[in-house]
Amino acid sequence: MRQILELASVTKTYGSGDTTVAALRDVSFGVEAGEFVAVMGPSGSGKSSLLALAGGLDMASHGEVYIQDTPLSSLGLAELARIRRRAVGYVFQDFNLIPTLTAVENAALPLELEGWKPSKAHRVARNALRQVGIEHLADRFMDQLSGGQQQRVAIARAIIGERSLILADEPTGALDSVTGNGVLEVLRERADAGAAVVMVTHEPRHAAWADRVVFLKDGRIVDQSSVQGDPNSLLVTG
């Protein structure tokens, strides 16, 4: 499998001198195409910093972040913005949608920022909304949608243009369990379709949807789990 994201010995510190705080310490891990990775850890363990670095929203103090083999530190601001728009999709806990735009306009935004004609961008956005099961809500504004529907719009915006890396920060945090499962199903399907998905969560039940769970503590990876063997073998207790 092709590696989409790689963090190589990444350290991230904030502040300087006596007030320096290390958010990540010598973290190395990669995510392949088609892989769904969950990141867990207590508050302050570095989860959000890891996601920000993985998406090029922040830069490593030491080490290197690669997206599709491109070292982010080698890029200028314009190139970095371009790779973020084309290769990376973000899903946030509070959706970060624009209330004055409809669902299809929100989903189409990354393509329009790339200079696409609105009509073409909207056609592709409708397709993305169809993939997340809400094409019929395309012309609704955000206050006309439930939390789960808004999160699906946010996922549509994140996957539009076949972006290969999807980063999700507590994407189910504001949703009830049934709606949250629907969102996880969409992320899982994107991974099964070939995207690399990294999701930060504090809910074990949600992390268990992933192929691999990475545990962070005090800025370091302390463990990683993966699904092993035949799951049905777990269901017989004897």
Partner 1 sequence: MSIKHSLLVMLQQQQRYGFELREEFERSTGATWPLNIGQVYTTLDRLERDGLVKDMGTDEAGHRYYEITDTGCQEARDWFNTPVAPSTPPRNELAIKLALALSTPGVDTGAVIQTQRLATIQTMQGYVRARREADRENKAEDLSWRFVLESLIYSAEAELKWLDHCEAKMSSMARASRSNAPRETTPSQPPTQAKRTNTATLEETR
Residues in the site for partner 1, rule: CB under 8 A?
Answer: 40, 42, 188, 203-205, 207-211, 213, 215, 217-218, 222-223, 225-229, 231-238
Report whether 138 contacts 126 (CB < 8 A): yes
CB of 204 to partner 1, least distance (A): 4
Evaluate whether 121 touches 178 at the Cβ level (below 8 Å): no
Among residues 81 and 208, whose Cβ is nearest to partner 1? 208
Q: How far is the CB of 25 from partner 1 (least distance, A)?
A: 11
Nearer to partner 1, 113 or 222 (CB): 222
The size of the chain, in residues, is 238
Cβ-contact 209, 198 below 8 angstroms: no
Output 86 or 188, the one with its CB closest to partner 1. 188
Q: What is the DSSP letter of 236?
A: -
Closest C-alpha among 182, 205, 190, 188 to residue 157: 190
Question: Closest distance between partner 1 and the C-beta of residue 146, in Å?
Answer: 22
Q: Judged by CB, which is closer to partner 1: 135, or 203?
A: 203
Least Å distance between CB 183 and partner 1? Answer: 14
β-pair type (212-217, 220-226): antiparallel
